[in-house]
Amino acid sequence: MLNWCPEILSQEVGDVEVETWQQLRWELLDHAVRKQSVELEVRNERDEIRLEKLDLSGIGPDELDADLLRTIGIVRYNAPIAPVIGELSNNGPAERDGLQPGDQITSIDGKSVKQWGEVVAAVRSSPGKPVLFGIDRGGAQLSVTVQTDTVNDGETAIGRIGAAPQFDESQMQRLITQVRYAPVEALYRATAKMGEVSLFTLRMLGRMVVGDVR
């Protein structure tokens, strides 16, 4: 498994420069189907560049069907989001029961909260149940109980309160990559990608014939 630090950005996969997360996944999937090792060039926020070698020869068919990047130890970096309420759904549970934009959630059911992800996890695991929020509202420490709604996520019942976090726009922009091409280059890249997909499909069919892929 690759020791993939949160701040590391991928530069190249083999001899191909990658610009987006989707392109990274595609290039690694292509090498995995061909059961090849591949060298990644990575760069951190201090502009330090190093090489990481990945042996993808042992990736099995089930792992190709699943989340390949997670299987080999590469996980998309999720920026920590402070547990501060930014928006509330109109007449949703949070609004009905007294939460307000700007409230900083400090605890849930008596357990300390540091990130918005903890809020999401606590609410999702409590469908149709009352959840006690400890909040800081302008320096005042308050307790608010919110009765969660129950919604279905596939076959699983989850809780929801109708609240979204307050985002640090500068931090979000730092994590966004925008890739734009001129019309002619965009057409060339689209045509090249169609060829790559066709070749990839043929490789997959070949693996199916010899029994490497189900």
Question: Using an 8 Å Cβ cutoff, are 166 and 86 in contact?
Answer: yes
Rounded CA gap, 70 and 29, in Å?
12
List the Cα angle 171/40/202 in 5-degree steps.
Answer: 110
The predicted-structure confidence for 117-150, as pLDDT tens digits, reads as follows 999 999 999 999 999 999 999 999 999 999 999 9
Rounded CA gap, 163 and 195, in Å?
44
Share of the chain above pLDDT 90, in %: 36
Q: Where are the beta strands (DSSP E) in 102-183?
A: 104-108, 111-112, 130-137, 140-147, 149-153, 156-160, 163-165
The predicted-structure confidence for 69-112, as pLDDT tens digits, reads as follows 777 777 666 667 889 999 999 999 999 999 999 999 999 999 99
Enumerate domains of the chain plus CATH numbers.
Answer: 9-77+175-210 (2.30.42.10), 85-173 (2.30.42.10)
Higher pLDDT, 103 or 57: 103
Question: Using an 8 Å Cβ cutoff, are 148 and 131 in contact?
Answer: yes
Higher pLDDT, 165 or 73: 165
Question: Using an 8 Å Cβ cutoff, are 104 and 82 in contact?
Answer: yes
Q: What are the beta bridge partners of residue 160?
A: 149
On whether the pTM is more than 0.75, the answer is no
Edge-first strand order for the sheet with 16-17 is 16-17, 9-13, 37-43, 49-55
